[in-house]
């Protein structure tokens, strides 16, 4: 009985870390696309590491694109990378999460934010 309790204790402590919800940023995994061009689940897992451990503000637009690849969204003052696009059981998305960057006239990244929309 004592061995079973010890095993159960270690299992409960170690098992959640095996299925971690976070992981270190990896450019190769960041660029993986699922079917129909959707972002992979890796992006969601890497988001915290990317936004806390890498210098994203103050770099040039071209450096950001070299680092993260081509953005999914772009206009004259901002760009964005899809993190989550969840369709649920519908043809319309029910959850979208995007990492959005703003840049100045001289193409320097001035800020970023995570934008999430849920239906």
Instruction: Note the pLDDT of residue 1.
Output: 54
pLDDT in tens, 7-63: 444 444 444 445 568 999 999 999 998 877 788 899 999 999 999 999 999 999 999
From residue 105, give the alpha-carbon distance in Å to each of 59, 78, 102, 109, 110. 13, 11, 10, 10, 10
- Global model pTM greater than 0.85: no
d(Cα 32, Cα 13) in Å, to the nearest integer?
Answer: 31
């Amino acid at each position: 009985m004592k061995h079973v309790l010890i095993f159960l204790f270690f299992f409960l402590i170690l098992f959640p870390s095996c299925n971690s919800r976070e992981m270190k940023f990896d450019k190769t995994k960041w660029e993986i696309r699922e079917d129909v061009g959707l972002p992979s689940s890796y992006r969601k897992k890497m988001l915290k590491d990317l936004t806390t451990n890498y210098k994203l503000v103050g770099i040039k637009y071209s450096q950001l694109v070299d680092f993260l690849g081509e953005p999914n969204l772009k206009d004259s003052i901002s760009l964005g990378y899809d993190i989550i696009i969840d369709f649920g059981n519908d043809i319309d998305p029910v959850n979208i999460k995007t990492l959005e960057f703003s840049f100045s006239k001289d193409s320097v990244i001035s800020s970023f934010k995570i934008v999430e929309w849920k239906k």
